Amino acid sequence: MPMTMERSRAIRMLRGWAINVLQEAGAIHECEEHGWAKDRADPHACQRAIEIAEQDPPSGLSLDEAVAEVRDVLDSIGDTCPECVEE
Ligand SMILES: [Zn+2]
């Protein structure tokens, strides 16, 4: 079944929220040159991000779903910037 606009917009917003949480916790940082998010592979920061997500889940999302989203986004982010790797 094709995704509706509503649904894909909700997913993008959710992803933006998770990235914010990860940045706030210091679990990811942006490449200074290209702006790509990079995983810092810091287990403490990752734990902190999950705590932030638990304290402040987005509206309409359960705690479990909020934490799962943060983990998902973190999994999808590599530890290197794709553009730096190409150089
Ligand atoms: Zn880069």
Ligand 1 geometric centre to CA of 28 (Å): 13
Between residues 50 and 60, which one has the greater pLDDT?
A: 50
**pLDDT grade for 7, boundaries at 50, 70 and 90:** confident
Residue 20 belongs to a domain: no
Beta bridge partners of 28: 39
Residue 73 belongs to a domain: yes
Is 16 strand, coil or helix? helix
Question: How many domains does one find in the chain?
Answer: 1
For 5-16, what is the mean pLDDT?
86
- pLDDT above 70 covers what percent of the chain? 95
Question: Alpha carbon 12 to chain centroid distance?
Answer: 11
Beta bridge partners of 30: 37
Ligand 1 geometric centre to CA of 80 (Å): 8
Residue 64 belongs to a domain: yes
Is 25 strand, coil or helix? helix
pTM of the model: 0.84
